[in-house]
Structure formats: structure tokens, C-alpha cells
Structure 1
């Protein structure tokens, strides 16, 4: 089970926010000074502050492939009408009077469209705890798609986060993390960004697309297939368009290899002598009797001996000696 390092907020911005987690208790100082310090820490950790949005840095690892989309506009309109119901979470920055976002990137983006301050819980968390909080909150509020989780896992691993932190951030087992990583390693990042999050498209479908990427130039195929679609086409439909185009291209390549090529061998006077047909399985030499009846009869009488002689010549040229 993943560690739940904070009280999870409800899944909808229209709901009331859950109280923020209580801070870890520190040793009390003797007398009223220690009690006052503990009280101030508890108030600070559990209070919701109004912070100017330009004082918050949106850094850290990507957990979404698309942030500025139509859903941000919808969320901004909801906040404009009803106010911000669920706070974001930030942590103090190394720079004075600035903060780094932990979770709530969509809400922050929406409020920047609306204008004004953002309600935020301020917590002092290290990188590992911040990452776990970010992953857990996103899993509850808007479940990331398979490929978004895969890309997030890839970035966490490349950034040096330990396996147990990655598992806790997404609530996955070690095998679950491996299943996501295996697929995303076979996909060009450019292809994933062209398609988008594709909610509802699971591991098997992305795995099939990854297999296609090993056979054909899928990025070029995707660009061509997506160019004909409207800009607001849902990413799940974009995935299907790319998959169908890639499958058709792969089938065409197989058919072409199966058909192979056929060459007409001609004499010096231009008269056809024979045809040579080559495909992935065989090489066939065909002599049409009606065009060269005497030559056809001559070859028929000498075919076996001629082929053996050619085979011996091939062995001599490759130096096998046998």
C-alpha cells in the first residue's frame, strides 16, 4: 500500500476541501515559549493562505501531458462563478517570499486566467515527500492516463528517485511500474506528445502501438494522419487515427515484401529469354517455352547439372571448401 502523506482533498473543485494534515510534532521547549512555538507551527501548517499567483513557480516533474486545454477554461469559469473551493499545496522556495507548487497545477492555471490570489496550503516538504503528495493527489482528483503515468515514471527514474518513492507516488507495485516503463521505452517521446494523454487507452493498446513503432516510421505517419483531423479532436481519437494509419502502413510493407520483384532477362537483341521472380521465400527462374522452345528444351536437359555447378561455384567463391 502506498504511503498517504496527506489528507486527500475531494475529487471535485466544487466540493469542500478536506483539512490539511497536521504537522509532525517536535519536542516541546520548556515553559510558555515552547508551547507558543508549537501552537504557531500548528496554525501555520493547517491554515490556508491567499498567495499571489506570480509568486508560485510551476517546476518539478510533469505528471500531465496537456495542461493548457479546454478543461482549464471550464475550471476557470467554475472558479469565476463559485470561487476556489479546494486549495492547492505549495512549499517554500529557496528564494525569499516565493513558493514551489506541489499539487494543483490545473487550479493554478485556471486562477491565473481568472485573476486574483490563489488559496494554498503551505507545507515544508522535501523532494521525495513532495513527489509522493503530487502523485497521490493527482491519482485521486483526475486519474492520469496510462501513458501519462508512464511518462511520469520515466522522468522520476531519470531524475534518480528510488523505486519505493515512485511506487508510493502512483500507488503501483514494482511490477506495475515495470509494465508502464517497458511500453514507454519503445515509444518516441515526440509520438506521445503528438497523440496526447489518450484517456481510456490502456497498456495493451499502447503496447501494440509500440510494436508498430519498431516496424515503420510512426512519427512521420502520425504527423500525416493527424494533419487531416480538427485541432480539437480528443486524444483518444488521435491515438486510433495513428494506430490505424500505422497498421495500414505496416501491412502494405509486408505485402510489398511478399510480392517481391520480377525481372525480365533479355538477349542482346532484346528478345525475352526468361523471368526471375524474387520474394521473401524463394527465387524462381521461369522460361516460357513458346518464346524459346529450343532453349527451354536445352535447359530442361541440363537444369540439374547446371544448378549443381552453380552451387559448387558459390561454395568455392565463399571459401567454404565443401
Structure 2
């Protein structure tokens, strides 16, 4: 079960500052007054603050492939008309009056487009807790696509996050994390960035595309396909176009099976004597006994000697020696 990271006591500089004399006196009061004090502190800790966007650093792990797209413009227009309905979450930075984003990157990008302050919850969380909060909030609000989760997992693993933290962040089992990583490791660098997040395209489809990497240059093929598409082509459609083109190319490049060339050998009367089949691997002489049973019986008795005689003739004519 994911850890409860939303009820941790605040540790930012305002809450952790030395208590005032009034607060010291209140701290000595027993019973209901002390409970009221704790409740007020909790309300303060959970209050939403208005923060200037330029005070917030967009650091940490990227869980989205695209931030500057039409969905950001639509979100910005919605916030302009109706206001910011859902706060983002930040944590104090090491610098005064600066914060680091935990989640809400799309909302922050939208507000930066239209101007104004950002409504934000401030929490003092460590890296693990921040990562879990980021992953869980994104899963609840706008589920990242399969390939976005795969990239997120790879980046978390490369940085050194523990398996349990990664599983909590995305709500995946250990096997689920492994399934995402297997696919992303098979895809060449740069391919996902060309296609985009491709919402609705799952593990099997990405896996099928990855399987073509040994037969087709996926990146260059994707560049050619996407260059021919309209600029506003949705990411899932870009994926389908790339996959279709690469699949077709893989089939076209596959060498056809060489079944050889077969010719019918006939005598001077036009009767079929047998067939001769030649391919890159063998020469086959076939005599159908039903067509000429007597000749077939005769050849069967002499075939080995006849083949050796032909071999000796070739050797003498070619000068291959004895």
C-alpha cells in the first residue's frame, strides 16, 4: 500500500520558526485549548497559498512527454474563464521564497501563459515522498500513457530510486514495472519523442513496434512518415502511421523463399521423362514411376553408378584431379 504522504507535519521555514511568546503560553494550556491549537496548526499547514509562477522551479523528473501542446492552451483558457480550481503542490527550495514543483506541471505551464499567481499547497517532503505524491496525483487526474510511464520508470531507476518507491509512485506491481522497462529498453533512442505520448496505445502495440527494430530503421522511418503528416496529427495517429509503415517495410524487405526453378525433361517423342529442379541449395532429378515404370526401375538400379560416372566426367573435364 502506498504510504500516506499528505498528512506529514509541515517543516517549511514559517512553521519551523521559533514560536512566539503567545504561542509558548498557548502551548502550556491543557485540554481543549491545546487541541484547538493543534487544529489551527493543521488548518494552516493545509492552507492554499498564492505564489508567483517565477518563484517555482520546474525541476524533478518529467512524467509527461509534452507540456507545450494544444491541451495546455485549452487548460489555460479554462483557468482564465473559471479560475484555477485545483491547486498544485510544491515544496520549499533551498533558496528563500523559492519552491520546487511536486505535481501540477500542466497547470503551472497554463498559468504562465495567461499570467497571475498560482494556487499551491506547500509541503516539506523528501525526494521519495515527492515522487510518490507526483505519481499518485497524475494517476488520479490525467493518467500518463504507457510509454510515458515507461520513460518515467527508466529515469527513476537510473537515478537510483528503490523499487518500492517506484511501485508506490505509479501504483504498479513489481512485474508491472518490469513489463514497462522491457518495452522501453527495446525501443531506439529518439523514437518515442518523435511519436509522442500516444494515449491509448498500450504495451502490446509498443512491443510489436519494438520487435521491428531488428528489421527496420525505426527512427528514420518514423521521421519520414511523420514529416508527411499534418502538424496537428494526434500522437496516437502518428503511432499507427509509423507502425503501419514499418510493418509494411519489414514485410517488403523480407527475402522471398527460393523455391527453385523446375523444368520438365522430355524425349524426342515429347513424352515426359522426369523433372529437374534447381535452386540455390540443391539440384534434384525426379522420375515419376507411374509415368515410366520400367525406366524408373532401371534407373533405381543404376542411379548410384550413374551419379559417380557423372562426377568423374566433371572432374576430368574441369581438371580437378583425382
TM > 0.5:
yes
- Where 2:190 maps in the other structure, the secondary structure is helix
Contact 1:148/1:197, CA 8 A, preserved across alignment: yes
- After TM superposition, give the deviation of residue 104 of structure 1 in Å: 0.2
2-side partners of 1:133 and 1:198: how far apart?
24
Residue in 1 that maps onto 2:65: 65
- After TM superposition, give the deviation of residue 307 of structure 1 in Å: 8.9
2-side partners of 1:97 and 1:129: how far apart?
21
Change over 3 Å in CA distance of 1:32–1:218 after alignment to 2:
same
Residue in 1 that maps onto 2:187: 187
1-side partners of 2:132 and 2:176: how far apart?
16
TM-score normalised by L of structure 1? 0.74
2-side partners of 1:100 and 1:41: how far apart?
23
Residue in 2 that maps onto 1:32: 26
Contact 2:10/2:45, CA 8 A, preserved across alignment: no
- After TM superposition, give the deviation of residue 215 of structure 1 in Å: 1.9
2-side partners of 1:152 and 1:166: how far apart?
9
- After TM superposition, give the deviation of residue 3 of structure 1 in Å: 3.1
- After TM superposition, give the deviation of residue 216 of structure 1 in Å: 1.5
The number of residue pairs the alignment matches comes to 266
Q: 1:190-205, aligned counterparts within 5 Å?
A: 190-205=190-205
- After TM superposition, give the deviation of residue 248 of structure 1 in Å: 1.1
Q: Which stretches in structure 1 are left out of the alignment for 5+ residues?
A: 7-20, 263-275, 287-298, 314-322
Contact 1:90/1:101, CA 8 A, preserved across alignment: yes
TM-score normalised by L of structure 2? 0.74
- Where 1:185 maps in the other structure, the secondary structure is helix
- After TM superposition, give the deviation of residue 38 of structure 1 in Å: 5.3
Which deviations, in whole Å up to 9, do the C-alpha atoms of 1:75-127 show, x marking residues without a partner? 00000001101100000001111000000000000000110100000000000
Change over 3 Å in CA distance of 1:134–1:101 after alignment to 2:
same
Moved more, 213-222 or 156-165: 213-222
Q: Does 1:113 align with 2:113?
A: yes
2-side partners of 1:100 and 1:195: how far apart?
29
Contact 1:61/1:152, CA 8 A, preserved across alignment: yes
2-side partners of 1:228 and 1:46: how far apart?
50
- Where 2:223 maps in the other structure, the secondary structure is helix
2-side partners of 1:5 and 1:308: how far apart?
86
Moved more, 104-113 or 28-37: 28-37
Residue in 1 that maps onto 2:144: 144
Q: Does 1:56 align with 2:81?
A: no
